[in-house]
Structure 1
Amino acid sequence: MKGLLAAAILLAGTGIAPAQEELVVSIWGGNWRDGAQEAIATEFTKRTGVEVKFVTGGTMDRLTKAKLSAGAPQADVTLTTSHVAYLYSASDLFEKLDVSKIPNLKEAYPIALRSPYAIGLYSYVYAPAYRTDLMPDDFKITSWKDLWGDQVKDKLGLPDFDPSHIIIAAAKLSGADAKDWKKGIPLLEKLKPNIKALYQSDATSQELMKTGETPVQVLLSINAYHQMSQGIPIKLVIPEEGGVVGIDAVGISAGTKMADAAYQFVNTALDPKVQEKLCELYKCSPMNAKAHVSDEMAKLPGIFTSDEQLEKQILVDDETRAKLLPEWKSWFTENMTR
Structure 2
Amino acid sequence: MSRPYSPRRTTLTLLAAGSALALAGCSAPEGAPVADGTTSASSGDELVVSVWGGLYEETITTAIADEFTEKTGAKLVFDTGSSTDRVNKVISQGSGSGVDVMINNGELTSTAETAGVLAPLAADAVPALADVADWAVQGDYGVAFGAYAMGIAYVNGAVDTPPTSWADLWSDEYAGKIAVPGAAHGHMPQFATIAAELNGGGMDDLDPGIEALAQLEPATTSMFYTDWAPLAASGEVSVAVEYSMYANLMNSTGDYDVTFVYPEEGAIGSLSVMSMVDGGDAELASAFIELMLEPENQAELSEALFHTPANTAVEVPESVADTVPAQDELGEEVRFFDDAALAELRPGLTQLITTRVVPEW
Shorter-normalised TM range: 0.7 to 0.9
Structure-2 change in CA distance of 1:24 and 1:291 (3 Å): same
**Aligned equivalent of 1:281:** 304
For 1:1-338, what aligned pairs fall within 5 Å after superposition? 21-133=45-157, 135-136=158-159, 138-160=160-182, 161-162=184-185, 163-191=188-216, 194-201=217-224, 203-204=226-227, 214-231=237-254, 232-256=256-280, 258-295=281-318, 297-300=320-323, 303-307=324-328, 309-338=330-359
User: How big is each residue's C-alpha offset from its partner over 1:226-259, in whole Å with a ceiling of 9 and x where there is no partner?
Assistant: 1111121011011111101111101111111x22
User: How big is each residue's C-alpha offset from its partner over 1:276-328, in whole Å with a ceiling of 9 and x where there is no partner?
Assistant: 0001001110110011213452322xx22225532453221111112112222
- Does the 8 A contact of 2:225 with 2:242 survive in 1? no
Question: CA RMSD, aligned part only?
Answer: 2.2
Q: Secondary structure at the match of 1:44?
A: helix
Q: Secondary structure at the match of 1:122?
A: strand
**Aligned equivalent of 2:6:** none
User: Which is further off, 168-177 or 318-327?
Assistant: 168-177
Question: In structure 2, how many angstroms separate the alpha carbons of the residues matched to 1:130 and 1:49?
Answer: 47
Q: Secondary structure at the match of 2:97?
A: coil
Structure-2 change in CA distance of 1:40 and 1:210 (3 Å): farther
User: How big is each residue's C-alpha offset from its partner over 1:179-232, in whole Å with a ceiling of 9 and x where there is no partner?
Assistant: 4333322322211xx212222346545566566654421101111111111121
Question: In structure 1, how many angstroms separate the alpha carbons of the residues matched to 2:82 and 2:141?
Answer: 21
- Does the 8 A contact of 1:120 with 1:249 survive in 2? yes
Shift of the alpha carbon at 1:40? Answer: 3.3
Q: Secondary structure at the match of 1:154?
A: coil
- Letter of the 1:274 partner, please give it: N
Q: Secondary structure at the match of 2:116?
A: coil
Q: Secondary structure at the match of 1:333?
A: helix
- Letter of the 1:103 partner, please give it: P
- Letter of the 1:196 partner, please give it: A
Structure-2 change in CA distance of 1:104 and 1:174 (3 Å): same
Shift of the alpha carbon at 1:143? Answer: 0.8
More helix by share: 1
Question: In structure 2, how many angstroms separate the alpha carbons of the residues matched to 1:309 and 1:328?
Answer: 28
- Does the 8 A contact of 1:58 with 1:201 survive in 2? no
- Does the 8 A contact of 1:89 with 1:117 survive in 2? yes
- Letter of the 1:262 partner, please give it: A
Structure-2 change in CA distance of 1:217 and 1:114 (3 Å): same
Structure-2 change in CA distance of 1:334 and 1:115 (3 Å): same
- Letter of the 1:152 partner, please give it: Y
- Does the 8 A contact of 1:21 with 1:51 survive in 2? yes
User: Which is further off, 36-45 or 239-248?
Assistant: 36-45
Question: In structure 2, how many angstroms separate the alpha carbons of the residues matched to 1:236 and 1:219?
Answer: 8
Question: In structure 1, how many angstroms separate the alpha carbons of the residues matched to 2:272 and 2:190?
Answer: 15
- Does the 8 A contact of 2:210 with 2:352 survive in 1? no
Question: In structure 1, how many angstroms separate the alpha carbons of the residues matched to 2:234 and 2:287?
Answer: 41
Structure-2 change in CA distance of 1:152 and 1:38 (3 Å): same
- Letter of the 2:172 partner, please give it: D
Structure-2 change in CA distance of 1:177 and 1:248 (3 Å): farther
Question: In structure 2, how many angstroms separate the alpha carbons of the residues matched to 1:96 and 1:209?
Answer: 44
Q: Secondary structure at the match of 1:178?
A: coil
Q: Secondary structure at the match of 1:55?
A: strand
Q: Secondary structure at the match of 2:278?
A: coil
> Sequence identity of aligned pairs in percent?
28
Instruction: Say which one has the larger Rg.
Output: 1
Structure-2 change in CA distance of 1:76 and 1:20 (3 Å): closer
Question: In structure 2, how many angstroms separate the alpha carbons of the residues matched to 1:220 and 1:262?
Answer: 28
Structure-2 change in CA distance of 1:148 and 1:230 (3 Å): same
- Letter of the 1:333 partner, please give it: T
- Does the 8 A contact of 1:158 with 1:198 survive in 2? yes
